[in-house]
Amino acid sequence: MSTERDVLPADQEAWLDAIVYDEHGLVPGIAQEVTTNKVIMFAYLNRESLRETLRTGNATYWSRSRKRLWRKGEESGHVQRVREIRLDCDGDVVLLRVEQVGGIACHTGRERCFYRRLETEGEGGVRWVETDPVLKDPESIYK
Amino acid sequence: MSTERDVLPADQEAWLDAIVYDEHGLVPGIAQEVTTNKVIMFAYLNRESLRETLRTGNATYWSRSRKRLWRKGEESGHVQRVREIRLDCDGDVVLLRVEQVGGIACHTGRERCFYRRLETEGEGGVRWVETDPVLKDPESIYK
């Protein structure tokens, strides 16, 4: 695929054509913070949101619940400046390496959405434990 | 949710009940290498594969194409030793922090599946460029 594309003249949409979308036109996206290397969130993108991400330089997802473009940080100010976009072997998952403005990616006011860790406890059991503190009250983030 | 669970006695399945599965009983999983902090692959897990992952300590996914448990590395030997399991705010995405045995996660023989990067070229165009080398011929990995 890429060998063929590499010799073609630049086409504004060719990079979008190379992505494999699901039946809803979506592709899973992983956001990783470039400074900490932490995986901070997961969300879906569609063709339009990918185009907007490239155009603006800010991560723009597709909100499945609101059924509209979700310009991450549009309310909170916690935008994600995109430093690198990567595509996986099957072309159906994208990785956004971003600079998380404000240091808060999660709507709960935490650094990242993955704030629960599976930990062992007595008798061989396990449970989810919240390891990351709330850095900012969500009430004050979303006015 | 976790507040309630924290006071319950250890239940072998409670951690699995806390996860939100999609209509196919699956949850997206992100694998991140603990040494390099690179995001190396993305795959789905179901309840059974999560249970097996915890039991064996090796990442075990659900293969949607083969419709069976996929013990990562079962053919290649490139197993993923799980160091940490994390859950996101909505409970519907898991993050596996793993030690990638053999240093190869991708079926193409590369370190990671995300071996293509979007790069700018002349006239404002962009294209996917393969940045990571093939470390081992897939033919020799899957005999």
Rounded CA separation A98/A96 (Å): 6
Residues B117, A86 contacting (CB under 8 angstroms): yes
Q: What is the pLDDT of residue B138?
A: 93
Rounded CA separation A63/A21 (Å): 15
| Of B138, B131, B129, B128, the residue nearest B105 (C-alpha) | B138
Q: What is the pLDDT of residue A129?
A: 97
Residue A143 predicted with pLDDT over 70 = no
Region B57-68: mean pLDDT is: 97
Rounded CA separation A31/B142 (Å): 31
| Lookup: tokens for A20 | 């494999």
Residue B37 predicted with pLDDT over 70 = yes
Residue B4 predicted with pLDDT over 60 = no
- Inspect the interface and report whether the beta carbons of B127 and A12 lie closer than 8 Å: no
Is A84 within 8 Å of chain B by CB? yes
3-class SS at A26?
A: strand
Q: What percent of chain B has pLDDT over 70?
A: 92
Residues 6+ apart with CB under 8 A from B113: A88, A89, A90, A93, B40, B41, B42, B105, B106
Sheet arrangement for strand A26-33 = A39-46, A26-33, A94-100, A80-87, B116-120, B126-130
Res. B143 pLDDT band, cuts 50 70 90: low
| H-only helix segments in A18-131 | 47-56
Q: What is the pLDDT of residue A85?
A: 98
Residues B2, B17 contacting (CB under 8 angstroms): no
Residue A122 predicted with pLDDT over 80 = no
Res. A141 pLDDT band, cuts 50 70 90: confident
Q: How far is B20 from chain A (nearest CA, A)?
A: 14
Region B15-33: mean pLDDT is: 97
Higher local confidence (pLDDT), A9 or B82: B82
Region A55-65: mean pLDDT is: 97
Residues of A in contact with B22 (CB under 8 A): none
- Inspect the interface and report whether the beta carbons of B30 and A11 lie closer than 8 Å: no
Q: Which of residues 85-114 of A touch B (CB under 8 A)?
A: 85-90, 93, 95, 106-108, 110, 113-114
Is B13 within 8 Å of chain A by CB? no
The answer to pTM > 0.90 is yes
Backbone angles phi, psi at B78, to 5 degrees: -85, 65
Region A1-23: mean pLDDT is: 72
Is A134 within 8 Å of chain B by CB? no
Q: What percent of chain A has pLDDT over 70?
A: 92
Residue B16 predicted with pLDDT over 50 = yes
Res. B119 pLDDT band, cuts 50 70 90: very high
Q: Which of residues 18-47 of B touch A (CB under 8 A)?
A: 18, 28, 30, 32, 37, 39, 41-42
Residue pLDDT, tens place only, A94-110: 999 999 999 999 999 99
